[in-house]
Structure 1
Amino acid sequence: MDKTNKYSGRMGMQYKTFSIYAKEVNYDNESRTISGYAAIFGNKDKAGDILIKGCFSKSIQDRGPESPANDKIIMLWMHNMNEPIGRIAVLNEDEKGLYFEAKIDEVPRGEQAIKQLESGTLNQFSIGYQYVWENCEYDAEKDAFIVKEVKLYEISVVSIGCNGETEYLGLKSIEDVEKAYEELNTEISEVCSGMPASKQQKIQRIISKAMSLASFRPEIRKEPTPEGEGADMHGNKVKSMFENLKLK
């Protein structure tokens, strides 16, 4: 089976959440260190993935706490890159899963995370990652995606597990939409800053095309979907707009 069809919605950044319990997370008040597991190996999760021990090893080697990288894997509040809450001091794989220890900074979100983890109001960690497709495969017998490697970017304290395919933007009026477009243009400019002009223009064209495609919804199809192709909840064939996208 073609995994890019079976998992066409899994392009780009993804999020995976693991619920924790009091006995599975520890907090050292003196060192302000939270420790626990951010992912578990060997079980089929709600996304239909089975993480295999070793899937984080390259990320840990390249960007873990002991690596020389400047862009190390970071501890965030709710997957928000603008709200880092601490430094990951220990990150390794054991037989159970991805174990971490993070030293939490004395910042408002850090204090909130500590208090609400201690109280039990928050009880989930989540990882932000991308699949490394050549090291992942679909197992038809288990009806699961066997994940042998991912690119790990961050670990977050979260309230409710994020869905990497959806995002509520809070757009209620044309003014909200126009403001969102202005913010998007600013974000694109910041990301493209320093790139060659040709590369910037190419990225902007791709984003414009993606936005145009996202706003177009054809009529619901009635015919059955051929086996092996992705489908939405109505049985419509679906295909990620990014599936055949590749920057040179």
Structure 2
Amino acid sequence: MSIESGLEKKFARLGKDLTVTDGTEIAGYASYFGDTDQSGDVVQKGAYAVSLKALAADGRQVKMLWQHDPAQPIGIWDEVCEDARGLYVKGRLLEAVGRGREAAALIAAGAIDGLSIGYRTVKAAKNEKGQRLLMELELWEVSLVTFPMLPSARVGAKGESLMRADLRELAATFAGARRELARM
């Protein structure tokens, strides 16, 4: 067993297990127990229990971020819990936040299809295959991301289509980014 410190990130690409409805409501799994990710880590059942209990006792919640950027919260996780399969999350993208609208558009278009957890390892061990078994994690945040690490599933966007104004705003954002890159 080892005790490690520092914020780590674990990516998951989720398909039928992540749904988006009404353009902003998200529900699915941010982590699966027993699945080996691309770095050889395996989250064990119960790994989040202590952290989730401590967050609830302190009246705090797991943050919903854009690409693990603490300066870019994009929504609220209304429910974060462990079940037999993994870490289940349910929440809302905030339409009043620009990145929240962009995230909804990118998910609907299939350009973003990943979730990722930001955490600190509290307790881990190596198994006979050299995999790191993550037994206790301090969960900080769950992000929508471009590049996931757990390839076992993909995001599926469902719900109402985006309004044309939202698409125009997104196109303008991309055009501005292209102009900025061209000046570099």
2:136 aligned with 1:149: yes
1:99 corresponding residue in structure 2: 88
1:19 corresponding residue in structure 2: 13
Task: Report matched runs for 1:113-132 at 5 Å.
Answer: 113-132=103-122
Q: What letter is aligned with 2:9?
A: Y
Aligned residues: 148
Distance 2:20 2:2 in 1: 40
Distance 2:42 2:7 in 1: 18
Q: What letter is aligned with 1:138?
A: K
Task: Report matched runs for 1:155-194 at 5 Å.
Answer: 155-161=142-148
Distance 1:77 1:70 in 2: 23
TM-score, normalisation: structure 2:
0.74
1:74 corresponding residue in structure 2: 63
3-state SS of the aligned residue for 1:44?
A: coil
Q: What letter is aligned with 1:55?
A: A
Q: Which has the higher contact order (CA 8 A, sep 6+)?
A: 2
3-state SS of the aligned residue for 2:79?
A: strand
Unpaired runs of 5+ residues, structure 1, are: 5-9, 163-248
3-state SS of the aligned residue for 1:24?
A: coil
Unpaired runs of 5+ residues, structure 2, are: 150-184
2:85 aligned with 1:55: no
Deviations 1:115-156 (A, max 9, x none): 111221101100100100xx32111x1211111101000000
TM-score, normalisation: structure 1:
0.56
Q: What letter is aligned with 2:133?
A: I
3-state SS of the aligned residue for 1:62?
A: helix
Distance 2:38 2:51 in 1: 23
Distance 1:25 1:73 in 2: 18
1:41 corresponding residue in structure 2: 33
Distance 2:110 2:84 in 1: 26
Deviation of the 1:47 alpha carbon: 1.4
3-state SS of the aligned residue for 1:114?
A: helix
Larger radius of gyration: 1
2:102 aligned with 1:109: no
3-state SS of the aligned residue for 2:141?
A: strand
2:160 corresponding residue in structure 1: none
1:28 corresponding residue in structure 2: 21
Deviation of the 1:3 alpha carbon: 5.0
Deviation of the 1:62 alpha carbon: 1.5
Distance 2:2 2:26 in 1: 37
Distance 2:105 2:130 in 1: 39
Distance 1:151 1:114 in 2: 28
Distance 2:2 2:93 in 1: 39
